[in-house]
Amino acid sequence: MILEIADITKFYGQTAAVDDVSFNIQPGTCFGLLGPNGAGKTTTIEIIEGIRNPDSGKILYKGIPRDANFKEDIGIQFQSTSLLAYLSIRETLKTFQTMYKKTSRLEDVIRQCNLEEIADQPNDKISGGQRQRLLLALALINNPLLVFLDEPSTGLDPQARRNLWDLIRKIKQDGKTIILTTHYMEEAQLLCDIVAIMDQGKIIAQGSPQNLITQYCQGVTVILQKPQAQLPVNLDQFKVLEAPDHYEIEAKDIDLCLKTLMAAGVDLRDMTVRSPNLEDVFLRLTGKQLRE
């Protein structure tokens, strides 16, 4: 294990922001903390990074408590942070590079994060996507073994988000261990090998995205648009949800569901079939949506 987190707890006043959280991380994997805003993801990750102190619990890095060298081995992309003012992107990266003994080549990081064209621009005169790539570059400037990414794609448009995901996948391919927090189930599903779902400071489920889906959500959801589809009354064997403009039929056996609908003469031309995802897992576990 590269990281072992055991029973960490953090209180803010009377509220437990992190409540007895434990998990282990294998080297070279991408570990995701998935949960809604306020679930305790950022506090958890910042405790591991050493930015905050836990009230109790134990954190082992490579089998021993973290020491001064831990900071040399980690790279962090914070959720929101300002940078030293009046510096260009290259100067910002150079300043942070100087902080470490072991570093990546500046030009390599600039290229890796697609910052070549804006490298000499002031660090506060760039777009949201460029800024996230700069923050990612800062996290990689010391060629870290462990990369912490706190909500890396929050606030980005879909295109910028996809570009960032490509970058993160490349970092993963380089063999680095990644710990990321997110409230986007798609991001977790796409990037993470292991996901821990957090709610109200606790980890409520943990495993690979596929295993979690298989464990908590079996079958598929068949969606039929109104008003074309008129549902027959004999669908008792399925769970049917009626929305203003469509029906959702949860079916463990898609074959049986479709046969039943066709036999009843339901118009299936506007039908869509959706496989379950981590959002459904969260919904099943907590009874609420991830972004509520």
Partner 1 sequence: MNFKRMWAIFKARNLEFFRDRSAFGWNFVFPFLLVAGFSLIFGGSGRSEYKVGIFPAVKTDFQMQSTQLPQGFKDVKYLEFIPFSTFDIGIEKLKHHKIDFLIELGAVPHRYWISSSSPKGYIVEKIFSASFMPGEGSPHALKQEIEGREIRYVDWFFPGILAMNMMFSALWGVGYIVVRYRKNGVLKRLKATPLTPFEYLFAQTLSRIFLLMFTLIVVWLGCDLVFSFNVEGSYVTLFFIFFLGGLSVTSLGLLIASRGTSEEFTSGILNFITWPMMFLSEVWFSIEGAPEWLKLFAKLFPLTHMLTAARQVMNDGAGLLTILPEIGILIVMILVFLSLGAALFSWSK
- The contact set with partner 1 (CB under 8 A) reads 49-51, 68, 71-72, 74, 76, 78, 80-87, 91, 94-96, 98-101, 138
Q: Which two tokens mark 22?
A: 């434990």
Which of residues 11 and 100 has its CB atom nearest to partner 1 in the complex? 100
Minimum CB distance to partner 1, residue 108 (Å): 19
Least distance in angstroms from the C-beta of 42 to partner 1: 12
Asked if residues 89 and 119 have their Cβ atoms less than 8 Å apart, the reply is yes
84/263 with CB nearer partner 1: 84
In angstroms, the Cα distances linking 131 to 29, 43, 107 are 25, 23, 17
CB 247 within 8 A of CB 223: yes
Query: Based on CB atoms, which residue is closest to partner 1, 4 or 91?
Result: 91
**CB 52 to partner 1: min, Å:** 8
Q: Considering the complex, state which of residue 94 and residue 284 has its C-beta at the smaller distance from partner 1.
A: 94
Burial letters 165-199, b for 16+ CB under 10 A, else e: bebbeebbeeebbbbbbbbbbebbbebbebbbbbb
Q: What is the dihedral of CA 36, 42, 48, 49, to 10 degrees?
A: 150
Nearest approach in angstroms of CB 272 to partner 1 is 43
User: CB of residue 78 vs partner 1: minimum separation in angstroms?
Assistant: 6
**Closer Cβ to partner 1, 50 or 207, answer by number:** 50
